[in-house]
Amino acid sequence: MVKTSTSTTAGTANGTTNGNGFPATLDSASKRPTFYKANPHLSGKIAIEEHVNTDIFNPSMTNPFTEGQGELPYYQEIFGNDVKFRLGNFEERIKDMDASGTAIMAISLTAPGIEGIFDPVQAAETARKVNDQFHKIYRTGPHAHRFLTWACVPMQDPEAAAKEAERCVKELGCVGVFINGYSNVGNPANLEVQYLDEPQCEPFWAKVAELDVPVYLHPQIVATGQTRIFRGYEFLAGSPWGFARETAEHALRLMLSGLFDRYPNLRLVLGHCGEGLPTAIDRTVLRIRHFKKGGHGVHQRELAYYFAKNFWITMAGVQKASTLDSTIREVGIDRVMYSADYPYEDMIEAAQWFDGL
């Protein structure tokens, strides 16, 4: 990651503060609290995991709605309102990019997104509409040079997902595919989910390998049938804890399944400094060596081999130097990329922390 010349920005809106005693986010009508100081920022940053909304459907919850599968109810009102405002406000996004020294942003549909739609036909139709809309908004017009787009695909129907991935890459110029964890399948009554290592997903992976584009595996809230440990602390099933657990386990399933033996050049991206895997995977490797052959999947190599060869990491949502350092030590600096996790994290606050390293 290369840091270039500096650009100057004001850190707060007129130096005002909100009721929480922290400076208000830049020009924020909601006065959402932030934690940065008014310092110059290094320019030229490329942010890889940054989220957007759509007016085609509500991507912030399952469709139909199921209790416990969305995080917005747990947010402070001032924060939730600000997130919703910034998810869909194009001009505010440009303003925050300028203020944080972010030159280019790769945008993706917020979670659970397409994966939260139970009906596979509706998921396919909606994914196509969203991808077309994102192309029109972010890849045309005067700011097109500042945006890249991740494709969303209907994994409820892996063959349809393969076709949509191909269309998005070849016709819309998407940089890859962004998947919000497991897909809801069946109906809200049974709450069945599908993981990406399952056999029915093979047509999708074959197409991704052919297209030679990365897949970003982003978290979802822990599936409803797996949340007993969070009873009484349901908020932990989301971004404070469950996001990392669910995504790390999903990545382990992919490694154990032999996916990277069948498609050795696949590239997967994990956010949040690897969802804990950089520090935990060695323990998994040490224990598996004592297990019976054939009892831990069909993978042909140690899991650490796949993690070092097939995974890239972003620092989205992380602001701790030791966490970033341990990630770099495990996978190498060439495989760690900048991200802010906007607007769930403050782009200017994240930039200030990073620029000060």
C-alpha 337: how far from chain center? 13
Considering only 7-21, 34-48, 170-184, 216-230, which range has the smallest mean pLDDT? Answer: 7-21
Instruction: Report residue 77 CA to chain centroid gap.
Output: 23
Which pLDDT score is estimated for 241?
Answer: 97
- Of the CA atoms within 13 Å of residue 283, those in its CB half-sphere come to 5
Least confident among 42-51, 61-70, 129-138: 61-70
Backbone angle region of 291, left / alpha / beta, with phi > 0 → left and psi within -120 to 50 → alpha: beta
Report how far residue 267's alpha carbon sits from residue 271's, in angstroms, rounded to the nearest whole number: 13
User: To the nearest whole percent, how much of the chain has pLDDT over 70?
Assistant: 90
Considering only CA atoms, which of 341, 324, 219 is closest in space to residue 278?
324
Q: What is the mean pLDDT of the chain?
A: 90
- The whole-angstrom distance between residue 321's C-alpha and the CA centroid of its chain comes to 20
More confident residue, 181 or 225: 181
The Cα–Cα gap between 94 and 105 comes to 10
Average pLDDT (126-150) is: 97
Choose between 66 and 198: higher pLDDT. 198
Helix axes 321-331, 303-310, angle to 10 degrees: 100
pLDDT at 20: 42
Q: What is the pTM of this model?
A: 0.90
**What tokens appear for 266 in the block?**
């696949």
What local confidence, expressed as pLDDT, does residue 190 receive?
Answer: 79
Encode pLDDT of 45-68 as tens digits. Answer: 999 999 999 999 999 999 998 887
pLDDT (average), residues 153-180: 98
Return the structure tokens found at 315. 């620092």
3-state secondary structure string across the chain: CCCCCEECCCCCCCCCECCCCCEECCCCCCCCECCCCCCCEECCEEEEEEEECCCCCCCCCCECCCCCCCCHHHCCHHHHHHHHHHHCCHHHHHHHHHHHCEEEEEEEECCCHHHHECCHHHHHHHHHHHHHHHHHHHCCCCCHHHEEEEECCCCCCHHHHHHHHHHHHHHCCCCEEEEECCEEECCCCCCEEECCCCHHHHHHHHHHHHHCCCEEEECCCCCHHHCHHHCCCHHHHCCCCHHHHHHHHHHHHHHHCCHHHHCCCCCEEECHHHCCHHHHHHHHHHHHCCCCCCCCCCCCCCHHHHHHHHEEEECCCCCCHHHHHHHHHHHCHHHEECCCCCCCCCHHHHHHHHHCC
pLDDT at 5: 36
Tens digit of each residue's pLDDT (9 = 90 or more) over 293-343: 889 999 999 999 999 999 999 999 999 999 999 999 999 999 999 999 999
Q: Which of 245, 270, 219, 235 has the alpha carbon at shortest distance from 115?
A: 219
CA 278, chain centre distance (Å):
17
The pLDDT value given to residue 3: 37
- Measured distance CA(258)–CA(249) in Å, rounded: 15
**In this predicted structure, what is the pLDDT of residue 23?**
54
pLDDT at 249 over 90: yes
What's at 334, amino acid-wise?
Answer: D
As annotated, the active-site residues are: 341
For the chain, what's the residue count?
357
Give the span between the Cα atoms of 137 and 131, in whole angstroms. Answer: 10
Kindly indicate the confidence band of residue 37, based on its pLDDT and cuts at 50, 70 and 90.
low
Looking at residue 186, what is its pLDDT?
83
Cα gap 136→116, rounded to integer Å: 24
